[in-house]
Amino acid sequence: MEAPTLNHGFCAEFLFRFGSYYADHMVLQKEPGRAVVWGYGAVGAIIRVSVLTDSNTLTHEVTRVNQGVWNVSLRPFGPGGPFWIIAEQNYSRRVESIVLKDVYFGDIWLCGGQSNMEMTVSQIINASEVLSLASHYPYIRLFQAGLNESAEELNDLESIAVQWSIPTAEILGQGNFTSFSAVCWLFGQYLYDKLQYPIGLVESCWGGTPIEAWSSQRVLHKCKIPFSIGNRVNEKTGPHQPTVLWNAMIHPLRRMTITGAIWYQGEANTNWHSAQYNCTFPAMIEDWRQVFHQGSGGATQIDFPFGFVQLSTYHHAVPDDSFPWIRWHQTADFGYAPNPKMKRTFMAVAMDLGDEKSPYGTIHPRYKQDVAYRLYLGARAVAYRETAVVFQGPFPKDIQLKNSTELTIIYTQELTVLELSRDIFEVCCCTTWNLSSCKWLSVPIVDHSVNTISLSLNQCHQKVTGIRYAWMEWPCDLKKCPLYSKDSNLPAPTFMIPPAHNGPL
């Protein structure tokens, strides 16, 4: 199909153009959401935005430029394409037109985080096989924000690493931590295989960065995180400073209507403000939701679905509990998601994906297909409301003390028990529950049934006041944690009962 003839105007000095992340080959959000299209123009000019096919003009939207920016919400469109989006500026008897070609309507997912989200397809297990299939997915479209930081909230992106593109092996496999995200791509691929309509993937992430960098000042105030851009009190510089990536790489995207977001981050907070992560993470999610809802004129849901990866592993056999604490805080101290403080969220447990042979360091496991598939199951259940999809691993629903020497945990699902581990469960033996002074003892699994695990308490000579599971940086070998769900083969997540702040039971 050929693009329609356009009447090019004479007002170049007014920089009539679309916002930075509107381009040929893009995906706009499908129904029921109303896709937002915006750009820059002459103050006071009349803007007319049209959606066309090769034979029909389907809709017109008209607005006026205000303070140099114009913004329209299209009527809802079903999935499909291709379309042209034409914007015309009428100013002082002159008309200027700009056009977007090969535009599709579908679902848009925002992918954020640090280096485990940055890892490209070339860095994962079976990379060549995944890259060879890239051309089979022409209706998944890719966009990657450039790496920028700012002390102030920006209206638009300062740079773009990958403008909207049809996927190719070159885009997906170029360099390490530099081109398009493997987790984001694989998640989109699983979604497309299921939904069979266009998927837009928007990556905005930066390796080694803490959650504070991706959070607004509102989040930091709420969680009592001290900050002052450029001030030594932050203990962080460059892209690690509070708010600078929110300002430059997330806030500019706020007008984009999206279906949801996925997030892989937390390693950088295992040694910085880790105790506050149970506040900063839920608060950041709610803040993103508010800003995207308002920025899109209400088109993005106020509670849009938010998926995240619970941290994998780093050091093997190191007596450090910073990773399990972040895993716990990623769930707002409930141990599972969604939960009362994190509604419409979903979690991919990754602590069983430790990769001792990863050439990119053990903190960067290569088993991203498993991560993406677990996120995909959560998206189907939470975002697409498939009630029959099992997307969570088994979690305790009751604990019974049979006698002084045996404790039984009753789980929410039928179990697959791979090993009668002697050390992955621990109990706190003391007269009263006190987290700081609790003496944790490893206890063996001695029996199991369809949905229960029995633990021996022979080594505990006092009262059992707490119990925890997989409270280790590297709790098990690759895909060999002791407990999985029978139906979906999802690992049981780490837990602590009674928890430090909230209670799952």
**Tens-place pLDDT, residues 28-76:** 999 999 999 999 999 999 999 999 998 788 888 999 999 999 999 999 9
Q: Are strands 94-113 and 27-29 parallel, antiparallel or unpaired?
A: parallel
Residue with tokens 């003892």: 441
Q: How confident is the model at residue 308 (pLDDT cuts 50, 70, 90)?
A: very high
- Measured in degrees and rounded to the nearest 5, phi and psi for residue 29 equal -65, 130
- Measured in degrees and rounded to the nearest 5, phi and psi for residue 272 equal -150, 115
The one-letter amino acid at 61: E
pLDDT value of position 68: 94
Number of helical (H) and strand (E) elements in the chain, helices listed first: 9, 24
Q: Is the pLDDT of residue 425 over 70?
A: yes
Q: How confident is the model at residue 350 (pLDDT cuts 50, 70, 90)?
A: very high
Residue 146 token pair: 């450039």
Residue with tokens 């266009």: 198
Segment 282-294 shows an average pLDDT of: 98
- Please state, as a whole number, how many other Cβ atoms lie within 10 Å of the Cβ of residue 409: 25
Higher pLDDT among residues 317 and 137, named by residue? 137
Distance CA 59, CA 50 (A): 6
- Buried b / exposed e over 334-346, threshold 16 CB at 10 Å, is bbbbbbebbebbb
Higher pLDDT among residues 436 and 177, named by residue? 177
From the CA atom positions of the chain, what is the Rg in Å? 25
> What is the signed CA dihedral for 192, 196, 199, 205, rounded to 10 degrees?
-10
pLDDT value of position 236: 67
Distance CA 310, CA 342 (A): 14
pLDDT value of position 237: 72
Dihedral of alpha carbons 393, 342, 320, 318, sign = positive
Segment 463-475 shows an average pLDDT of: 92
Q: Is the pLDDT of residue 505 over 60?
A: no
Q: How confident is the model at residue 216 (pLDDT cuts 50, 70, 90)?
A: very high
Q: Where are the domains of the chain?
A: 12-103, 105-324+353-377, 396-497
Domains 12-103 and 105-324+353-377 share a fold: no
Q: Is the pLDDT of residue 502 over 80?
A: no
Residue 70 token pair: 């114009």
In this prediction the pTM is 0.93
Q: Is the pLDDT of residue 175 over 90?
A: no
Percent of the residues in the chain that have a pLDDT greater than 70, as a whole number: 93
Higher pLDDT among residues 157 and 406, named by residue? 157
Distance CA 48, CA 57 (A): 13
Distance CA 323, CA 321 (A): 6
Segment 304-314 shows an average pLDDT of: 97
Q: Is the pLDDT of residue 466 over 60?
A: yes
Determine if residue 215 is left, alpha or beta; phi over 0 gives left, psi from -120 to 50 gives alpha, anything else beta.
beta
Evaluate whether 420 touches 480 at the Cβ level (below 8 Å): no
Segment 447-463 shows an average pLDDT of: 91
Q: Is the pLDDT of residue 108 over 50?
A: yes
Least confident span in 3-17, 209-223, 449-463: 3-17
Q: Which residues are bridge partners to 385 per DSSP?
A: none
- What is the CATH superfamily name and number for domain 12-103? Immunoglobulins (2.60.40.10)
pLDDT value of position 14: 53
Q: Which residues are bridge partners to 209 per DSSP?
A: none
pLDDT value of position 229: 58
Q: Is the pLDDT of residue 174 over 90?
A: no
Q: How confident is the model at residue 12 (pLDDT cuts 50, 70, 90)?
A: very low
Segment 427-441 shows an average pLDDT of: 78
pLDDT value of position 132: 95
Q: Is the pLDDT of residue 435 over 80?
A: no
pLDDT value of position 7: 38
The pLDDT mean for the chain works out to: 92
- What ranges in 296-356 are assigned the alpha helix state H? 322-329
CATH 3.40.50 matches 105-324+353-377: yes
Model confidence pLDDT, tens digit, residues 385-423: 999 999 999 999 999 988 778 999 999 999 999 999 999
Q: Is the pLDDT of residue 319 over 90?
A: no
Model confidence pLDDT, tens digit, residues 233-273: 455 678 999 999 999 999 999 999 999 999 999 999 999 99
pLDDT value of position 3: 44
pLDDT value of position 503: 36
Q: Is the pLDDT of residue 352 over 60?
A: yes
pLDDT value of position 133: 95
